[in-house]
Amino acid sequence: MAAQKQEKSVIWDWLTTVDHKKLGIMYLIAGTLFFVKAGVMALFMRIQLMYPEMNFLSGQTFNEFITMHGTIMLFLAATPLLFAFMNYVIPLQIGARDVAFPFVNALGFWIFFAGGLLLSLSWFFGGGPDAGWTAYVPLSSRDYAGVGLDFYVLGLQVSGIGTLISAINFLVTIINMRAPGMTMMRLPLFVWTSFISSTLILFAFTPLAAGLALLMLDRIFGAQFFIPSMGGNTVLWQHIFWIFGHPEVYILVLPAFGIISEVIPAFSRKRLFGYTAMVFATMIIAFLGFMVWAHHMFTVGMGPVANSIFAIATMTIAVPTGIKIFNWLFTMWGGKITFNTAMLFASSFVPTFVLGGVTGVMLAMAPVDYLYHDTYFVVAHFHYIIVGGIVLALFAGLFYWYPKMFGHMLNETLGKLFFWIFYIGFHLTFFVQHLLGLMGMPRRVYTYLGDQGLDTFNFISTIGTFFMSAGVILLVINVIYSAFKGERVTVADPWDARTLEWAVPTPVPEYNFAQTPQVRSLDPLFYEKIHGDGTMKPAEPIQPIHMPNGSILPLIISIGLFFAGLGFIMMNMDNPIINPWIVAIGGLVITFGSMFVRSVKEDHGYYVPVEQVKADLKKGGN
Amino acid sequence: MADNLSQPFDKSAMTEEEKRQVNKEIRKQIVVFALMIFLTIISFLAVGADIVPRSFAIPFILLLAVVQFALQLIFFMHLKDKDHGWATAFMISGIFITVPTIAALMLLIGVVKY
Ligand code: HEM
Ligand SMILES: [Cu+2]
């Protein structure tokens, strides 16, 4: 039969896949690699700050590390790790066979990856960017920053395109691909928060792209948007950056909220308290997230009126966030709680996130921010949000969804050990940084003088980092150990959970659902367990399933973009080996050429025949 | 079944009525597109060839820009179509977010002259 899928080599299969589950795993691997890379930089920075006047790193290297650490963690680790779960879980949770545009999904991954590689390439061309992840002008202008910053600009520009198209894909998927009965107000909260976070990407990555384009024009083509001596405005960059930058924080934290809202009900054996309030709180947070950007700029001199407005707008975010916190607490209240590793991470998220939120409100008080600004207090605050919030949620999600993704459990003993070491290390590292900040230790400095009262806390902070590193090593050991010795999972629903991803067999067939399920309630699987026979009712007969073919074009398109970006960067190099224009235009030709091929070549996909579906059903059970 | 679906269709799957609708839509889009190019030419002429007086030039161009923006939204972004509820909702929330953002930004960096 012409429509049958052909056998392919494993590597070719992964390079050409358009399957959302495989792409999810690819995001997971890529994100982890970048996470470890940026984590090692953090470790090195902390070692440098362990004792006063250390000489472990030079000031220049420290600046490059601090910039790359922040940039990589936010754009190339946290975002893709969340995308990993979104990719894997969203289609399953809404009862879909795939995302709306599988080809675009693969394209999003490869473009993000190409941008990440481009950024990382800076080490081989005279050092990384060194102006902080915010790249404030004039530090980042051509007068002060070398070619490393061009890697920052174009690497982020390229990977931003990937993020943007993936987000649009999620939006269309959630709008159009829901199973019958899966109304918007029955969406699991992880889907809701991913939906809203994708909206934020849509509206926030566009100003970032515009800002980066302007900076590129300034740096490479001699424009003067941000150069005061030529009539430009440096503060404009700060505004554009934070119009993107503040929503970015919510882009990351909202899906993290979603993960917590899945894990806590599952292991408290109760439905999520206040579902509707949770949904609307998420929307309000997202909207307010756009209107508070200038709280990063109180010290710029915007004047008392503007400072007050932005201060108050910022504090209002505490209200919907508080609603969410209380709803999680009420969900756990009176529940039959199982404290396995996933639940340990999820429940410890709540107090650490609250601590980060409290310091956030403190920072929002404009007059006091003159004191906190650019001290370690800020560093402590955002790491309580980012590590104590997002990273803990990511670990909770990892332990929760691991059996579905890989067909075996992660070891619980190693997992709990990992949790405690990491959690203690986290507080050791970052709690004392509040105090360092109040004592006046500035942020983004590579060393400090001794006997100023800063020695002990810096030392403790670094010890905490060793703990966290040990924790992550333990996680790696756990992953390897469990791959060989871990408890195999063949049942669909190892946690006795509530949502649709636990209704598909493990391992998940490539078409997810043999028959699209009929959704009758919120927490559809749990509803069937109580009111039905515990399995989802099909909404359609067994029929041949239409699947998309894999394609190598996403990879080629992103290779083209990689070289296009590299070409622009080379224009600022002293002696590029080849003419930069050749590289840039060559790259664009590859990209648009393969887009053209994609448009004219007909590819109607293939069918999984009924006999195959029935055979799978007999094996797995649905 | 599986085999013939993976072949390209030789005949369009659209009904005659649907084809008429699509043709009408295409005609409309071309007309609007021509109109928008016309508006652009006028605005260039207005400044380049000094057709309108200096003092009136900027409000005049802004006016043309607003008209173009409206045409763009209504005809090319499908704001006029039914069954585009989600697209419309996203457009409106986009406007809801960008307008105050840009207004606040202009106030903050002191753009008071246009
Ligand atoms: C897990 C252990 C981590 C450690 C030990 C750590 C350590 C550090 C250190 C020492 C700095 C420099 C602070 C300064 O002097 O201003 C820093 C900055 C930063 N970190 Fe982390 N970090 C960790 C995790 C993360 C994660 C997970 C993220 C984000 C997902 C993140 C995002 C940032 C950002 C955005 C900056 C600011 C960079 C800049 O100022 O340009 N960090 N971190
Ligand atoms: Cu902010």
At residue A214 the predicted structure's pLDDT band, cuts being 50, 70 and 90, is very high
Buried b (16+ CB within 10 A) or exposed e, A204-235: bbbbbbebbebbbebbbeeeebbbeeeebbbb
- Please give the model's pTM, rounded to 2 decimal places: 0.90
Condensed to tens digits (0 to 9), the pLDDT of residues A126-162 reads: 888 999 999 998 899 988 988 999 999 999 999 999 9
* Closest ligand (CA of A298): 2
Tokens 């209200």 belong to residue: A319
A230: pLDDT confidence band, cut at 50, 70 and 90?
confident
Ligand whose nearest atom lies closest to the CA of A395: 1
Sign for the pseudo-dihedral over CA of A472, A475, A479, A481: positive
Per-residue model confidence (pLDDT) at position A622: 45
Query: With bands split at pLDDT 50, 70 and 90, how would you rate the model's confidence at B48?
Result: confident
Over residues A39-61, the pLDDT tens digits come to 999 999 999 999 999 999 999 99
Tell me, what's the pLDDT at A557? Answer: 96
**Cα–Cα distance, A107 to A20 (Å, whole number):** 12
Whose CA is closest to A398, among A471, A455, A465?
Answer: A471
- Give dist(CA A391, CA A388) in Å, integer: 6
pLDDT of A552 higher than 70: yes
Q: What does the block give as tokens for A189?
A: 């909260």
Which ligand 1 atom is nearest residue A252's CA? 30
What chain A residue is nearest to B109 in terms of C-alpha separation? A236
What is the helix (H) or strand (E) element at residue A381, kind and residue range?
Answer: helix A376-385
| Domains defined along chain A, listed by start | 10-551+603-620 (1.20.210.10)
- For A322-335, write each residue's pLDDT tens digit: 999 999 999 999 88
Compute how many other C-beta atoms are within 10 angstroms of the C-beta atom of residue A413.
9
The answer, for A602 touching chain B at a CB cutoff of 8 Å, is: yes
How does pLDDT run across A366-407, given as a tens digit for each residue? 999 999 999 999 999 999 999 999 999 999 999 999 999 999
Residue A42 C-alpha to ligand 1 middle, in angstroms?
A: 7
Task: State which H helix or E strand residue A545 sits in.
Answer: strand A545-547
Amino acid occupying residue B79: L
Give pLDDT, residue A127. 83
C-alpha triplet A44, A45, A47: angle, nearest 5°: 65
Residue B11: pLDDT band with limits 50, 70, 90: low
Q: Which of A65, A82, A68 is nearest to A31 (CA)?
A: A82
Instruction: For residue B96, give the chain A residue with the closest CA.
Output: A287
How far apart are the CA of B88 and the nearest CA of chain A, in angstroms?
13
Angle at A361 between CA A359 and CA A366, to 5 degrees: 110
Of A194, A154, A167, the residue nearest A71 (C-alpha) = A154
The ipTM value here is 0.82
> Whose CA is closest to atom 33 on ligand 1?
A70
Mean local confidence (pLDDT), A495-509: 91
Q: pLDDT confidence of B21, banded at 50, 70, 90?
A: confident
pLDDT greater than 60 at residue A544: yes
Residue A476, pLDDT above cutoff 80: yes
- Confidence band, pLDDT 50/70/90 cuts, at residue B53: confident
SS3 for A550? coil
> Residue A1 pLDDT more than 50?
no
Segment 61-90 of chain A within 8 Å of chain B by CB: none
Pick B100's closest partner by Cβ from A291, A605, A607: A291
**Mean pLDDT across chain A, nearest whole number?**
92
Is pLDDT of A588 > 80?
yes
pLDDT at A357: 93
Determine the average pLDDT of the residues in B21-40.
90
Lowest pLDDT segment from A13-17, A583-587, B76-80: B76-80
Residue A4: pLDDT over 70: no
pLDDT at res. A455 = 93
Give the span between the Cα atoms of A112 and A567, in whole angstroms.
18
Among A534, A491, A538, A502, residue whose Cα is nearest residue A518 = A538
Please name the residues in contact with A518: beta carbons below 8 A apart, sequence gap of 6 or more.
A179, A180, A181, A536, A537, A538, A539
Write out pLDDT tens, residues B63-99. Answer: 999 999 889 888 888 777 777 888 888 888 988 899 9
- Give how far B68 is from chain A: nearest CA, Å: 21
Ligand 1 pocket, Cβ-based, cut-off 6 angstroms: A 39, 42, 45-46, 66-67, 69-70, 73-74, 77-78, 132-134, 379, 383, 386-387, 391, 429, 443-444, 465, 468
pLDDT interval class at A364 (50, 70, 90): very high
| Nearest-CA distance B30 → chain A (Å) | 22
What is the best residue among A50, A73, A466 to mutate for testing ligand 1's pocket, by most ligand atoms within 8 Å of CB?
Answer: A73
Q: What SS3 class is residue A364?
A: helix
**A199 vs B90: CB contact, 8 Å cut-off?**
yes
Above pLDDT 90, what percent of chain A? 82
Q: Which atom of ligand 1 is nearest to the CA of A472?
A: 1
pLDDT tens digit string along A511-523? Answer: 999 999 999 999 9
| Per-residue confidence (pLDDT) for residue A283, from 0 to 100 | 94
Q: Cα(A517)–Cα(A179) distance, rounded to whole angstroms? A: 6
What does the pLDDT look like over A340-355, one tens digit per residue? 999 999 999 999 999 9
Q: Give the pLDDT band of residue B114 (cuts 50, 70, 90).
A: very low
Nearest-neighbour CA in chain A from B111: distance (Å) = 11
